[in-house]
């Protein structure tokens, strides 16, 4: 959960509805390396034609450099793939950032997958937003 008590539902896709506004922070921890630790979405309620910035804190406790971070936002309008690049810290323990835009106003709920890769392996995080 974030500071506002919200928690991502990792069990099933979200249905169309009204999302909370503002930015949202999710504290997570993948069990495999590289370890995805936190996801920040700004704004959380993506509007048609607008961009959402996705910031992800990732670390590799084996001290292997993170070589790729990517995301996929799944909406009623389809899947949008986006890449994330290192924005702060190091490529062993840092914050990666990217953005995507909602092409349609059909539905403003979505699911998201974040993937991170290093010599230690690959980790994936699936989030569904209600």
Indicate if the pLDDT at residue 23 is higher than 80: yes
Percent of the residues in the chain that have a pLDDT greater than 70, as a whole number: 78
The model's confidence at residue 15, banded by pLDDT at 50, 70 and 90, is very low
pLDDT given at position 7 = 43
Q: What is the mean pLDDT of residues 78-102?
A: 95
The pLDDT assigned to 47 comes to 73
3-state secondary structure 68-122: EEEEEEEECCEEEEEEEEEEEECCCEEEEEEEEEECCCCCCCCEEEEEEEECCEE
Half-sphere exposure of 67 (CA within 13 A, CB side): 7
**Mean pLDDT, range 65-91, rounded to an integer:** 93
- Residues 108-128 pLDDT 10s: 567 899 999 999 999 999 998
pTM score of the predicted model: 0.81
**How much is the average pLDDT of 31-58?**
90
Whole-number pLDDT of residue 13:
39
């Amino acid at each position: 959960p974030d500071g506002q008590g919200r928690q991502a539902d990792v069990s099933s896709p979200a249905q169309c509805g009204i999302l909370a506004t503002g930015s949202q922070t999710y504290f997570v921890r993948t069990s495999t390396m590289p370890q995805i630790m936190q996801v920040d979405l700004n704004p959380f309620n993506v509007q048609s034609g607008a961009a959402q910035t996705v910031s992800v804190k990732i670390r590799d406790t084996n001290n292997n450099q993170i070589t790729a971070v990517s995301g996929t936002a799944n909406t009623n309008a389809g899947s949008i793939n986006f890449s994330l690049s290192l924005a702060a810290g190091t490529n062993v323990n840092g914050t990666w950032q990217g953005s995507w835009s909602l092409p349609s106003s059909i539905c403003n709920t979505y699911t998201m997958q974040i993937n991170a890769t290093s010599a230690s392996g690959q980790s994936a995080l699936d989030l569904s937003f209600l």
